[in-house]
Amino acid sequence: MSSVPAHPSVRIAEPPLRELIDACVMCGLCLPHCPTYRLAGNEAESPRGRIALAAGLLDGAIAADPATLIHLDQCLGCLSCQAVCPSQVRYEEILVGTRARLNELRAPSRLLRALRDPRLLTRAARLAAWTRAWRWLPRLAGLFPRASVLHRLAQVQPIVPDTLQLNKLPAAATKRSRVALLRGCVASVQDRDTLQAARYLLEALGHEVVETAPGECCGALPRHGGDNAGAARVAAETRQTLEASGAEVVLTCASGCHGDLRDQVRPRGVRVADALAFLFEDARWPSLRFRALDKRAALHLPCTQVNVVGNVGQLRAALARIPGLSVVDLPSQPRCCGAAGSYFIENPAIADALRDEKLAQADALAPDLLLTTNVGCRIHLGNGLRETASPLDVVHPLALLARQLDNAHP
């Protein structure tokens, strides 16, 4: 099996695919938590069904034809099944390992390869932003079939301002620590305000912040698509940057980047942390003051935030520092909004059905703004809100905290 070479700092061993598959006892307790099974009611669209397909493909009992492979392709990789599995089946490794094997049997189209290439995506997003192509691209969407990848790409719009209007911080007398901030690929363009907010809050606490270059990312997009070689190249480049940064901790703002950065990229001796959790755990965090905000916020917790990053309690506690802000969680089911990296572009029918459910839940809460911690979810939910001409803004909690910060260095 083709696999990503393990870096010395990665502690997760990778058993043979057969051993991973055999850990599943086919109990079916994961089925109610699977978004695609809930929509389709089809066993092949469930974790148990996909593990059975993986076993059949591995043994040669099932042909690798399009009718079979579509069920593996349509998995969101949300890991809700893995989170509830009593046998602790490592479903993500089964899914990624099977897709990697299949990548050797079928060559993805050039368009799909482009969608999973972080560097290419970053360059395309930066070019579109620089040329203001976002203004006229949606007009081209109607020229392509609604379910096509080109239609979906033309609909993707920027959802953030160029910069946040933040108060200027006075220079710190001394820097407390040096931290690295992962800008990522698409996030470096589409989540600029979040990255700016993270730097602002970190500097308000006296930290020195260094950032990776745009396009240097965790490699999750190619790895989850089965391109382990491409993921390893991206991981190696980012690891080299982090090693040279001199930082003892690297922070992520997008929950979707966290797992791969921690398990595939992290240099030896460098800690990976969620940016908001890092701020919350800082001894000086309680000394920061935030301006009151008399608004109601609906909080969408991405699959990766719940199933990979965790720190949900710290997220809620950090938002509670803003006086007057009322935060209400969206219902946990369906957990997934359908974004899942490039999934919402590649599988629009399923992605839109899940997104519509989440937006209906948000609408029922009558919020003033929608909060989420992953850039992919933010883009996907924002696209849906624009389609319905909703005035609701989708904001990362870090950006909201930075807007409301009312003091500088403690």
d(CA 117, CA 149): 15
Lookup: tokens for 32: 């109610």
- Running DSSP on this structure, what letter comes out for residue 65? -
At the topology level of CATH, where does 288-404 sit?
Rossmann fold (3.40.50)
Inter-helix orientation angle 397-404/192-204, to 10°: 50
Model confidence pLDDT, tens digit, residues 167-181: 776 655 567 889 999
pLDDT for 118 beyond 90: no
Spatial CB neighbours of 126, under 8 Å, sequence gap ≥ 6: 189, 214
At the topology level of CATH, where does 17-103 sit?
Fumarate Reductase Iron-sulfur Protein; Chain B, domain 2 (1.10.1060)
Mean pLDDT over the full length of the chain:
86
Any idea what the Cα angle at residue 130 is, between residues 128 and 133, rounded to 5°? 40
Burial of 114 (0-12, 13-18, 19+ CB in 10 A): middle
pLDDT band at 65 (very low <50, low <70, confident <90, very high): confident
- Running DSSP on this structure, what letter comes out for residue 290? B
Model confidence pLDDT, tens digit, residues 301-347: 999 999 999 999 999 999 999 999 999 999 988 889 999 998 998 89
Kindly report the CATH number that applies to the domain delimited by 178-281: 3.40.50.1860
Q: CA torsion 331→336→338→339, rounded to 10°?
A: 110
Spatial CB neighbours of 59, under 8 Å, sequence gap ≥ 6: none
Model confidence pLDDT, tens digit, residues 278-304: 999 999 999 999 999 999 999 999 999
In sequence order, the β-bridge partners of residue 369 are 297, 393
Lookup: tokens for 374: 């992953």
By the 8 A CB rule, do 108 and 225 touch? yes
**Which pLDDT belongs to residue 148?**
63
By the 8 A CB rule, do 374 and 339 touch? yes
Q: If you search the block for the tokens 């160029």, which residue do you land on?
A: 162
Domain boundaries for CATH 3.40.50.1860 within the chain: 178-281, 288-404
**Which pLDDT belongs to residue 190?**
85
Domain boundaries for CATH 1.10.1060.10 within the chain: 17-103
